[in-house]
Amino acid sequence: MNEESNSKKKLVQDYIEHVINTGQIQNITEFISQDYTEEYNGQRYVLGISGAIKHVEGVRETYPDLKLKIEKQICEGNWVATYYIMNGTHQGEWMNIKPTNEKIMIYGINLDKVINNKIVEHCGAANLLEPLIKSGAIQIVKK
């Protein structure tokens, strides 16, 4: 493992530990680029610092005790892939889903592009359906 790859993985680890897991957004500029973008459903959205802050605040409103635990991480070129387990209590509304106050556990993967020691792009996927069904947040309707 080369030093540059380790540095990129460490940046993502520190962002998760010091911003995502704490909600302390005052340090976000240490990790996120001014031209930060997110990709969702094949579309790129330029969010910048203010959009990254809104994202963190929104997630933490839904899961105030949120903790991401990194299980595995690899780096290739500018991309860092992080496989994680998220634990949190569903206490806020999200996508019109009312809070259940149930603890949930979600497995997911994030892809972060790191250039000049800043995260410039983010996308990811998470297994949300099963945990939301188990918690009672959503129900399967049988016909």
Task: State the number of CA atoms in the 13 A half-sphere of 130 facing the CB.
Answer: 6
pLDDT tens per residue, range 20-44:
999 999 999 999 999 999 998 889 9
pLDDT tens per residue, range 42-74:
899 999 999 999 999 999 999 999 999 999 999
Question: 118 - beta bridge partners?
Answer: 115
Of 140 and 76, the structure prediction assigns the larger pLDDT to 76
Structure tokens at 15: 């962002």
Whether residue 134 is predicted with pLDDT greater than 90 in this model: the reply is: no
- Per DSSP, helices labelled H in the chain are 3-15, 48-62, 129-135
Q: Where are the domains of the chain?
A: 3-135
Whether residue 1 is predicted with pLDDT greater than 80 in this model: the reply is: no
CA atoms of 54 and 58, how far apart (whole Å)? 6
pLDDT tens per residue, range 66-121:
999 999 999 999 999 999 999 999 999 887 888 899 999 999 999 999 999 999 99
CA atoms of 42 and 132, how far apart (whole Å)? 24
Beta strands of 41-138 (E only): which ranges?
43-46, 67-76, 79-89, 103-115, 118-126
If you search the block for the tokens 């892939």, which residue do you land on?
A: 81
pTM score of the predicted model? 0.90
Q: Quick one: pLDDT at residue 42?
A: 86
User: Under a CB-based contact definition with an 8 Å cutoff, are residues 125 and 115 in contact?
Assistant: no
Domain 3-135 adopts which CATH fold?
A: Nuclear Transport Factor 2; Chain: A, (3.10.450)
Question: 112 - beta bridge partners?
Answer: 80, 122
